[in-house]
């Protein structure tokens, strides 16, 4: 298994610096949560790692430098991601979605031949994310939560070693969150997982380690307990809620 090593990462758009000198280490097999207020640069960080935006600095995975490579090369070197809004190929079936992800490196010649059977890794991924029954439905007809599982399934068939998940439980019910959390724990037994999340309960239940981003910088890092105890975090992030609560109390008292 390989770990992720980010050094002095900077991303700016027309003078606005979204990610400002981030250093981040994710151990192999970690289940790391990235949290932080809106605009902290969490998604931009993931965009930079996957090559969708240009960045300066260094991003190494398993010792290989990723910055400067094209998006599909980064994807083929074992790094997969999901998007904030569940993003699948809506007009293709669940199976076809997985098939596209599975066959990324295939040659032109084999692509002109039609295959009938379901390849074994695809069948296994369907099973893992619980969509076997829905294999032939168009992905556009899936429920929101199911689409997010399909996204994770697409990463599994690519056999990625690093999963970068952007709000994987947004809009899910309590039971779906629980199932997703357990799925992520299973996956992180063999792979490295980084999750961007706003849901604090979900983070507390499943994170192995947490990094807090604020205004493009890493504010704090550690276990859930360590991060929650950090006064800087309480001030900019959790503290924001605390201040509101105090204000509420004050209003009620008045």
Question: Which chain residues interact with another protein by CB under 8 A?
Answer: 50-52, 70-72, 75-76, 80-81, 83, 87-92, 96, 99-101, 103-106, 108, 110-115, 154, 158
What's the min distance (Å) between Cβ of 235 and another protein? 35
Q: In what order do the strands lie in the sheet with 31-35?
A: 79-81, 162-166, 192-196, 31-35, 209-214, 217-222
What's the min distance (Å) between Cβ of 200 and another protein? 27
- Complex with another protein: residue 8 or 106, whichever CB lies closer: 106
Over the range 47-61, which residues count as b (16 or more CB within 10 Å of their CB) and which as e?
bbbbbebebebebeb
- Complex with another protein: residue 102 or 207, whichever CB lies closer: 102
What's the min distance (Å) between Cβ of 212 and another protein? 25
- Complex with another protein: residue 25 or 99, whichever CB lies closer: 99
What's the min distance (Å) between Cβ of 164 and another protein? 9
Q: From CA 97, how far away is CA 88, in angstroms rounded?
A: 7
* Packing angle, helices 120-129 and 144-157, rounded to 10: 150
Taken as a whole, the chain contains a residue count of: 254
The position carrying tokens 């309480």 is 234
- Complex with another protein: residue 92 or 236, whichever CB lies closer: 92
What's the min distance (Å) between Cβ of 72 and another protein? 5
- Complex with another protein: residue 78 or 181, whichever CB lies closer: 78
What's the min distance (Å) between Cβ of 114 and another protein? 5
Of 189, 163, 161, 184, residue with least CA distance to 78: 161
Q: From CA 18, how far away is CA 38, in angstroms rounded?
A: 11
What's the min distance (Å) between Cβ of 78 and another protein? 10
Strand partners, 33: 195, 210
- Complex with another protein: residue 2 or 97, whichever CB lies closer: 97
Assigned token pair, 197: 């999340």
- Complex with another protein: residue 112 or 251, whichever CB lies closer: 112
């Amino acid at each position: 298994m390989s770990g992720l090593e980010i050094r002095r990462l900077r991303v700016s758009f027309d003078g606005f610096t979204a990610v400002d000198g981030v250093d981040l280490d994710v151990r192999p097999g970690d289940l790391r949560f990235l949290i932080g207020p809106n605009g902290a640069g969490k998604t931009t960080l993931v965009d930079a790692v996957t090559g969708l935006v240009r960045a300066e600095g260094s991003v190494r995975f398993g010792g290989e430098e990723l910055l400067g490579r094209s998006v599909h090369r980064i994807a083929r070197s074992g790094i997969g991601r999901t998007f904030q809004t569940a993003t699948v190929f809506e007009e293709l079936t669940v199976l076809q979605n997985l098939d596209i992800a599975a066959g990324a490196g295939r040659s032109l010649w084999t692509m002109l031949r039609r295959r009938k059977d379901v390849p074994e890794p695809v069948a296994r991924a369907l099973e893992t994310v619980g969509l076997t029954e829905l294999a032939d439905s168009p992905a556009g007809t899936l429920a929101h939560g199911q689409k997010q599982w399909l996204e994770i399934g697409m990463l599994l068939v690519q056999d990625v070693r690093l999963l970068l998940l952007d709000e994987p439980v947004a809009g899910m019910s309590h039971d779906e969150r629980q199932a997703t959390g357990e799925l992520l724990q299973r996956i992180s037994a063999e792979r490295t997982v980084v999750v961007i999340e706003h849901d604090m309960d979900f983070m507390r239940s499943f994170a192995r380690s947490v990094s807090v981003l604020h205004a493009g910088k890493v504010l704090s890092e550690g276990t859930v307990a360590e991060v929650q105890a950090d006064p800087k975090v309480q001030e900019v992030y959790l503290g924001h809620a605390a201040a509101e609560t105090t204000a509420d109390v004050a209003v009620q008292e008045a």
